Amino acid sequence: MLMAQTDNNFIMLPTVDFCFKELMQNEKVRKGFIAALLGRNPEEIRETALIPTILPTVYSDDKLGVLDVAVLLKDGTQIDMEMQVIYFSYWTHRILFYLGKLYTGQIKKGESYKKLKKCIHVSILDFIHFPDDKKCYHKILFCDSKTGTPYTDLMELHILELKKIPSKVRNEDGIIRWMRFFSGKTREEFSTMAKTDEYISEAYSELMKLSADEKKRLEYEAREKAVRDYNTLMDSARSEGLKMGLQEGIQKGLEEGRQKGIQEGRQEGMQEGRQEGLEEGRQQGRESTTKEYTCRMLSHGMSPAEIADLLGEDRQMIDKIAAEFRQETEK
């Protein structure tokens, strides 16, 4: 048996989205975390029903997929929670898109706007999202830009940055305790945190059960490997692409600039030629690099959606390159 050969100290990490989603299947765990987010007593949270999630359906060709947790409260509030360890350049755009989709998806054409209820998107990030800010937890809502007066609480963003958790202090807010739990790495750390809160204690018990379940562990390890492989490919493509694009762009730009300057025969023309050629060369180098690395990532099984996210390029442009790539490979 595979499990018999494994380390008895193994424990799943909540930062792996599969583990986070499994933890949130437990109603008491779910209630405790949501209460901390809303700043309420867990006993006030009467109902937390899981509902079908929206994120995986946005791009059907997104092979890595997104494992989020969507919850409906008794008062109609919808909360979508997502654990994310992979850095995204356009995270703000992404979460606004999903929050808008969650909000508008509540009613159908012709139905009254009165039916619209509060929607919250929760990002639990294992990377730095606000580099110029030391706060690890942000609650964001619509407000007047001059007075700071809230306009509405119908849409909220909660952003938790695990990398910024402060050194332990007395009387920590419940949300900080949960963040500390999610970022735990060993049984000892989880066990210690379980003593601080009965709901976190329940999460620790659930984590132990999940870690001892052979089937769940295999699913966890498969997900962990997929995320790790994705990260490795992203890092490699990013570093190689930047290096190649810079070198190629500068080289082409200098050469074309020299040629244009020489042809005009004047120092001014030479200077302008160099500058224009440099800019044009950089652009050509960027386009060439984008195409090359898009094709390389397609050959590794990545989807256009994933590639567009990584490169920060327009989805239509990546789709066009992907279509050309398919035509070439089918010849």
Phi, psi of 12 (to 5 degrees): -65, 155
- Mean of per-residue pLDDT scores for the chain: 82
CA distance 223 to 216: 11
Q: With 50 as the cut, is the pLDDT of residue 56 above it?
A: no
* Percentage, residues of the chain above pLDDT 90: 52
Instruction: Kindly indicate the confidence band of residue 281, based on its pLDDT and cuts at 50, 70 and 90.
Output: low
Total residues belonging to the chain: 331
pLDDT at 53: 72
How far is Cα of residue 10 from the mean position of the Cα atoms in its chain?
26
Which pLDDT does position 59 carry in this prediction? 39
Tens digits of residue pLDDT in 114-126? 999 999 999 999 9
Mind listing the pLDDT tens digit for each residue in 221-276? 988 887 787 777 766 666 665 555 555 554 555 555 556 555 554 455 445 555 56
- In the chain, where do the E strands start and end? 48-51, 68-73, 78-84, 119-125, 137-143, 150-161
Looking at residue 268, its pLDDT comes to 52
